[in-house]
Every structure is written in structure tokens, then in C-alpha cells.
């Protein structure tokens, strides 16, 4: 059975090609991450390019060009038009380079906290809204706890191993005698 | 999660092709990455076949073209390229069969059909 690969870059790395050629191919794949994301979002919505073009108020060929453009060549205007066509909002986030996964989790937690506070602020004074917000807090709490528990349970627990050392019989006897004397 | 696997002889075929047509090979591999990402996201082969660089061939073979590549490179017109793949849903594997241009299309498809027969046999 041949080896299987999780992505095209890994597959290219495995091939017997000149080093520079491999790097050029991987760089080319990485240069189209954003445009690839656009294609993925459109197909997830079950939309073809023609439909997206109609919603965007442009031609199908413009949509096609956006989906093949290198990320550096895509304009903010094009991204805004595209997200409009998919009924989505675009937001830009600037993050420090090499952010750790735990920092990402903390960042999301801070965002959740901020949004919940905003919800409380909005609902204050209105009984129905306050009740709804309260029930939402309960829902959130249950979901978060179960999510974290599930993730923690999937970690492999490391059992502490006890190391037993047994010596030759004479030595064991000697040790026993010595401990008896003490 | 869909995985990729090189079918027998694919690496040699790709090596030869990319030596002559580097830009086309590059574009086709970028399209393969998109196809693979869409498959992973939707887990729907039929849906992924609707991407506009995908062409349906006989026996369930899928051909990815080199759309997105510049039309010319160093004054030389680029060749219309096809990367032939085959998706087996049972083991979520996308097999890379062959790569070629329009001139070798008939022969490539003939070879791919034989490969698909073999792969189907192995999976049954």
C-alpha cells in the first residue's frame, strides 16, 4: 500500500523533484490561501459562480478571476463584494505573528466575555430581554463546560508506573535481616 | 478527512511533465489543493465536481485543468493540462492517476481507466 498524504504540500515534499521546484510549487499553493477560502465558502453555500456574480452585480468572469488571484493581488473592495454576494460580513483581524493555540483560545474567551457583557447591557431594564439573556447565559455555560470536558477527556491519561526492583535471593534476605534489626 | 495517494507510476509521470511544463504543473497542483479542501469541507464528491476547473471523464475519473495559470510564460503559450484523479468514498482517498496535456489525453485516459479498474478491484 502506498503512503497517504493529508495535503498537497506534503505530497509534493515527498516527491523526487529538485528542491527549488518543490519550494516553488508549495509557495504557489500558499500564495492562494485566501482565494481558495472564497471558493470553499461559495461551494459550501451550494452557489455557482454565475449565481454569485448575479448577487454581486458583476460578471461571472470577475468572480472566476478573484478565485484564482494570488492573495497579495486581491483588493479589499473585491473581498467586500464577494462577501456581500455570499451574504456574509467581512472582518479583518490583526494578530501578532506566531500566536500560540492557547493564546487563540484566550482571545476567543475574551471576545465571548465582551459580547456577553454587551448583551447584558442591551437587555437591562427590559424584563423579557433579561429573562432571555439569562436563559442564554445558562445555555452558554452548559455548552462550554461540556465542550471543554469532551476535549479534556479525549486526552490520553498518563498512568504513573511503579518500578519494582528485585535483587538476587541472598541480597533480598540480607535486606530483610537488616530491616528486621533496625 | 480525505487523504491523497499517488497511484503507481504517477510520480514518474509528474516528474517528466513538470520538467517541461513547470507553470502548468504548478497551477494544476494549486487546483488540486482547492479540490481537496472542498472535499474535506463538504465531504461531497459530486459537489466538488461542480468546481469550474473540474472536468468529468468516463468511469468516474475526474480531470482537473490548469485554470489559473498565466496564459503565457516567457513568451511561450502554456499547454492545456489535465491532472487525472479518482475519488474512492469508502476509504476517503483521492488517488492521483496521471498528468498530461491535450496531445496525450486519449492515451492518458486509456491508462487511467485501467488503473481505476485495478483500484476498484482492490477496494471491493
Contact criterion met (CB < 8 Å) for A68 and B1:
no
From the CA of A115, how many Å to the nearest CA of chain B? 28
**C-alpha–C-alpha distance, residues A27 and A21, integer Å:** 10
Instruction: Report strand pairing: B62-65 vs A4-5.
Output: unpaired
Which tops the pLDDT comparison, A154 or A180? A154
The ipTM of this complex is 0.89
Q: Is B1 on the interface with A (CB under 8 A)?
A: yes
From the CA of A86, how many Å to the nearest CA of chain B? 16
The whole-model pTM stands at 0.78
Helix (H, G, I), strand (E, B) or coil at A181: helix
Specify whether A15 is located in the same domain as A76.
Answer: yes
Range of the domain at A136: 101-153
**Predicted confidence (pLDDT) at residue A88 exceeds the cutoff of 70:** yes
Specify whether A17 is located in the same domain as A81.
Answer: yes
Looking at beta carbons, which residues of chain B come within 8 Å of A32? 30, 33-34, 68
Confidence grade of residue A1 (pLDDT, cut at 50, 70, 90)? low
Q: Is B33 on the interface with A (CB under 8 A)?
A: yes
Q: Is residue A166 part of a domain?
A: no
Q: What is the CATH number of the domain that holds A43?
A: 1.10.260.40
Q: Structurally, how many domains does chain A consist of?
A: 2
Q: Is residue A173 part of a domain?
A: no
**Predicted confidence (pLDDT) at residue A7 exceeds the cutoff of 80:** yes
> Mean of the pLDDT values across residues A168-172?
79
Q: Is residue A181 part of a domain?
A: no
Q: Is B41 on the interface with A (CB under 8 A)?
A: yes
Percent helix, strand and coil across chain B, each rounded to 5?
A: 45, 25, 25
Tens of pLDDT, residues B6-59? 999 999 999 999 988 888 999 999 999 999 999 999 999 998 998 989 999 999
Specify whether A78 is located in the same domain as A118.
Answer: no
CB–CB of B65/B53 below 8 Å?
yes
CB–CB of B107/B13 below 8 Å?
no
Q: Is A139 on the interface with B (CB under 8 A)?
A: no
% of residues, chain A, pLDDT over 90: 70
**Predicted confidence (pLDDT) at residue A166 exceeds the cutoff of 80:** no
Contact criterion met (CB < 8 Å) for A2 and B52:
no
Tens of pLDDT, residues A33-70? 999 999 999 998 889 999 999 988 889 999 999 999 99
Specify whether A13 is located in the same domain as A81.
Answer: yes
Q: Is A160 on the interface with B (CB under 8 A)?
A: no
Tens of pLDDT, residues A67-87? 999 999 999 999 999 999 999
**Predicted confidence (pLDDT) at residue B75 exceeds the cutoff of 70:** no
Specify whether A77 is located in the same domain as A21.
Answer: yes
Specify whether A43 is located in the same domain as A109.
Answer: no
Amino acid at each position: 500500500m502506498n503512503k497517504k498524504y493529508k495535503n498537497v504540500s506534503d505530497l509534493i515534499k515527498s516527491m523526487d523533484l529538485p528542491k527549488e521546484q518543490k519550494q516553488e510549487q508549495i509557495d504557489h499553493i500558499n500564495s492562494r490561501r485566501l482565494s481558495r477560502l472564497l471558493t470553499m465558502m461559495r461551494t459550501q453555500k451550494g452557489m455557482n459562480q454565475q449565481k454569485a456574480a448575479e448577487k454581486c452585480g458583476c460578471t461571472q468572469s470577475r468572480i472566476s478571476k478573484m478565485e484564482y488571484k494570488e492573495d497579495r493581488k486581491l483588493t479589499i473592495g473585491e473581498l467586500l463584494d464577494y462577501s456581500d454576494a455570499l451574504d456574509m460580513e467581512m472582518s479583518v483581524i490583526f494578530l501578532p505573528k506566531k500566536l500560540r493555540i492557547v493564546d487563540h483560545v484566550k482571545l476567543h474567551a475574551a471576545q465571548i466575555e465582551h459580547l456577553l457583557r454587551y448583551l447584558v447591557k442591551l437587555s437591562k431594564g427590559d424584563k423579557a430581554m433579561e429573562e432571555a439573556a439569562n436563559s442564554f447565559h445558562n445555555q452558554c455555560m452548559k455548552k462550554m463546560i461540556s465542550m471543554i470536558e469532551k476535549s479534556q477527556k479525549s486526552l490520553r491519561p498518563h498512568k504513573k508506573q511503579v518500578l519494582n526492583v528485585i535483587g538476587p535471593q541472598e541480597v533480598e534476605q540480607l535486606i530483610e535481616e537488616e530491616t528486621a534489626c533496625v | 478527512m480525505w487523504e491523497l495517494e499517488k497511484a503507481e507510476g504517477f510520480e514518474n509521470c509528474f516528474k517528466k511533465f513538470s520538467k517541461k511544463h513547470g507553470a502548468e504543473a504548478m497551477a494544476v497542483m494549486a487546483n488540486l489543493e482547492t479540490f481537496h479542501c472542498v472535499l474535506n469541507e463538504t465531504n461531497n464528491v459530486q459537489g466538488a465536481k461542480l468546481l469550474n476547473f473540474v472536468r468529468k471523464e468516463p468511469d468516474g475519473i475526474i480531470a482537473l485543468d490548469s485554470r489559473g495559470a498565466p496564459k503565457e510564460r516567457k513568451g511561450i503559450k502554456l499547454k492545456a493540462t489535465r491532472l487525472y484523479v479518482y475519488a474512492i468514498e469508502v476509504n476517503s482517498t483521492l488517488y492521483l492517476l496521471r498528468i498530461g496535456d491535450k496531445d496525450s489525453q486519449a492515451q492518458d485516459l486509456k491508462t487511467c481507466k485501467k488503473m481505476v479498474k485495478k483500484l476498484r478491484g482492490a477496494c471491493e
